[in-house]
Amino acid sequence: MGPVTGDDGLPRCPWAGGPGVMRDYHDTEWGNRVHGEASYLERLTLEAFQSGLSWSTILHKRPAFREVFHDFDAEAIAAFGDADFARLMDDARIVRNRLKIQATITNARATVALREQEGLEAFVLSFAPEVPPAPSDTGEMATMSPESKALSQELKKRGFAFVGPTTMYALMEAIGIFDPHLVGCFRRRG
């Protein structure tokens, strides 16, 4: 499926055709570069929580995620203990998945450790792919790449969890390492 025209007359990627949080995310954030460790840790965390769920669910819960994970301050999350884990498991405002919550704490600790080298942002960017061909419809959109597979493997070696190759490809799209928008979408660069 190619771009769809919304009620405002703008052509968009099909998943963002109607008004609401998905369209707002598409129009203002998806595919835009982000900067800073907290922004990268947030996107990495949200992509992991999204696994098996709708992105709309995650976007609706995003303010609560930001609150409970201290705006994705890696040091604050890395210091979480058993009481913090229990508090998160009791908080209905977020996705209460034991493995994903533990992965967030694990990933924060790995992010802090990665500071001794290049840091999370530079590390992820070092796996930037060659610019993929611009897809004309959703059938041409990839769900992983050699670079997302390599990033997944290297993050796992450095102690990260819930960082599979499909999740890492979604991360690369979300943070604008390349332009993920369909040809004809008003947000497509160039």
Instruction: Give the Cα separation of 103 and 35 in Å (integer).
Output: 22
Give yes or no: 169 in active site: no
Give yes or no: 40 in active site: no
Instruction: Give the Cα separation of 49 and 43 in Å (integer).
Output: 10
Region for 133 from its dihedrals, namely left if φ exceeds 0, alpha if ψ lies in -120 to 50, beta otherwise = beta
Q: Which two tokens stand for residue 45?
A: 């965390």
Instruction: Give the Cα separation of 39 and 4 in Å (integer).
Output: 29
Give yes or no: 130 in active site: no
Q: Exactly one of 42, 47, 147, 173 is catalytic; which is it?
A: 47
Q: Exactly one of 15, 29, 55, 154 is catalytic; which is it?
A: 55
Name the residue among 189, 171, 177 with its Cα closest to residue 58. 171
Q: Exactly one of 25, 30, 40, 169 is catalytic; which is it?
A: 25
Which residues are known to be catalytic?
25, 47, 55
